[in-house]
């Protein structure tokens, strides 16, 4: 029976993230965490003769949260422009997961058409020793996997 090798585990600390905003690529070295989820939208399909209510997929939605250290005005400025002009903004997020020494290899995922739900306009906390950070919820309308992890066989 094959066993998972600890050297093949991927550390989130080794990830890299990039945002492509208006054609400009910015490395998000100040990012703390990101999680993006794809959820199927399902609808009931009642069927005569069945006591349960089966469901089928009828689309999907993509949502996520990007947590960054409170050190960049980039997203606040984009939101400010939206407030002033009404012109919304979209951007792509690329996440690269790769662990040196792991036979798992690398996965590169691109979240396309990201649109922020909210940003923090201003912040301070004089009662905390923690560094300031902000969570930015977002939606996205497409995604691609440019590089896939290798199939691992275990030990």
Alpha-carbon gap, residue 114 to 48, rounded angstroms:
42
Note the pLDDT of residue 129: 95
Alpha-carbon gap, residue 66 to 137, rounded angstroms:
6
pTM score: 0.90
Is the per-residue pLDDT at 2 higher than 90? Answer: no
Q: What is the mean pLDDT of residues 89-110?
A: 95
Determine whether domain 6-41+59-147 maps to CATH 1.20.120.140: no
Is the per-residue pLDDT at 65 higher than 80? Answer: yes
Alpha-carbon gap, residue 153 to 4, rounded angstroms:
8
């Amino acid at each position: 029976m094959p066993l998972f090798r600890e050297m093949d585990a991927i550390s989130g600390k080794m990830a890299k993230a990039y945002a492509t905003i208006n054609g400009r690529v910015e490395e998000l070295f100040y990012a703390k965490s990101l999680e993006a989820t794809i959820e199927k939208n399902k609808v009931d399909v009642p069927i005569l003769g069945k006591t349960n209510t089966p469901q089928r997929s009828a689309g999907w939605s993509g949502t996520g949260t990007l947590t960054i250290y409170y050190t960049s005005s980039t997203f606040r400025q984009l939101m400010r422009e939206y407030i002033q002009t009404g012109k919304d903004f979209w951007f792509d997020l690329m996440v690269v997961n790769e662990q040196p020494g792991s036979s798992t290899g690398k996965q590169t995922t691109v979240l396309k058409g990201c649109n922020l739900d909210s940003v923090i306009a201003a912040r301070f906390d004089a009662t905390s020793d923690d560094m300031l950070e902000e969570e930015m919820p977002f939606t996205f309308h497409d995604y691609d996997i440019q590089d896939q992890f290798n199939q691992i066989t275990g030990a």
